Amino acid sequence: MIKLEKQDHIAVMTISRPEALNALNSAELEGLKEAAEKVREDEEIRVLIITGEGKSFVAGADIAEMKDLDAEKGREFGLKGQAALSAVEALPIPVIAAVNGFALGGGCELALCADIRLASEKAKFGQPETGLGITPGFGGTQRLPRVIGLPKALELIYTARIIRADEAERIGLVDRVLPPEELMPEAIKLASQIAANAPVAVRNAKAAARRFTGAALYADLEAEAELFGACFDTADQKMAMEAFVTKTEKTPFTGK
């Protein structure tokens, strides 16, 4: 479920599936896109904050839903995820990610769609997909290099390594790290400072800043979806995701 609350000119969108660490399944992705459209249509909203319920921001896409997909269904799932996240990124107002916990896979990709990322000291980031036999498929191969640079992005993607908030801050993935109890108050304070400025000027500043990178990005995402989908016809993907869901040990990858 996606919760959307509004106070004055600030909206807070909360990913609320705590029993699954807020993992994004098809229903959550559809809800995320619908919530973004509601925010877009509400002219009173000047800033959006996105966070997660419980101890996770978003732990990733739903492995249980993905594990039995074939290449075509995998591509379709990737495109659905891209569409939902891109709807957030394309909002004309500033978006702040208040990353309260795990931001892995699709969660890291969602955070990358925000203009500003604040993180709790308990937050953890990563693109662990290659350890599951797939590639990042919700924009990670495209947005992560644009934010932290290609070499560091490829290191994180290739190794599937999960990093703590302090390292994420050091490499430029997040803007500030805060004690858990200060995360949302600081996000609201920052949103209030932005909302107090001229709305048209703020929107135009975002449009200008996003103009060049956005045009190239959406063409590149289509190629990402094709490559993401192709992974679902491999034995490695079937083995790794089955092991993840059943909580059993993976066997070595074979490259097939």
Q: Which helix (H) or strand (E) covers residue 116, if one does? A: strand 116-120
Percent helix, strand, coil in the chain, to 5, is 55, 20, 25
Q: What CA–CA distance (Å, rounded) separates 206 from 101?
A: 27
Q: What CA–CA distance (Å, rounded) separates 137 from 209?
A: 24
> Which residues are part of the catalytic machinery?
109, 129
Contact in structure between 29 and 76 (CB atoms under 8 Å): no
For 29, the token pair is 């992705």
CA-closest candidate to residue 57, choices 30, 8, 22, 86: 22
Q: What CA–CA distance (Å, rounded) separates 256 from 68?
A: 16
Contact in structure between 105 and 129 (CB atoms under 8 Å): yes
CA-closest candidate to residue 48, choices 17, 82, 3, 79: 3
Contact in structure between 109 and 85 (CB atoms under 8 Å): yes
Neighbouring-strand partners of residue 4: 13
